[in-house]
């Protein structure tokens, strides 16, 4: 790992911990993504994390606060775009016909995409609006 990659990993640490401290499991390799998608039979929330401002101010807070809903995903996982590139690309490979965007959020079950919130439905929205999108999806898919 070169000095730049090490620096960026250090900068991103609190952004990772915000989700892992809330119960999200990080998937850092394509193999971890494949294993999760193969074995997961319950509704799961996938957060494609990033260092951008809308991830910090909107996506991560909305994902965390949405978990207060009575109905919610059984499993919580995250991949980090721009950091764990291969794992992120592998997760995105399960989202057929969806343009890559980060941050973004998805509900998956049995290796299949159930629901997707792209960056365009995060950036420029209020945290409460994103929470509402997620809780509506939880009520339908969980």
Tell me which residues are annotated as active site.
52, 54
Closest-CA residue to 81 (of 112, 50, 47): 50
Looking from the CA of 121 toward its CB, the CA atoms found within 13 Å total 14
**Alpha carbon distance, N-terminus to C-terminus of the chain:** 40
């Amino acid at each position: 790992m070169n000095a730049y990659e090490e620096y960026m990993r250090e900068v991103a640490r609190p952004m990772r911990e915000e989700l892992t401290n809330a119960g999200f499991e990080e998937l850092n390799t394509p193999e971890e993504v494949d294993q999760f998608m193969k074995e997961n039979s319950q509704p799961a929330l996938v957060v494609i994390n990033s260092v951008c401002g809308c991830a910090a101010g909107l996506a991560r807070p909305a994902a965390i606060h949405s978990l207060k809903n009575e109905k919610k995903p059984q499993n919580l996982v995250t991949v980090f775009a721009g950091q764990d590139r291969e794992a992120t690309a592998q997760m995105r490979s399960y989202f057929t016909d969806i343009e890559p965007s980060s941050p973004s959020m998805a509900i998956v079950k049995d290796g299949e995409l159930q629901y997707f919130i792209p960056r365009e439905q995060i950036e420029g929205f209020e945290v409460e609006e994103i929470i509402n999108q997620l809780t509506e999806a939880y009520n339908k898919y969980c």
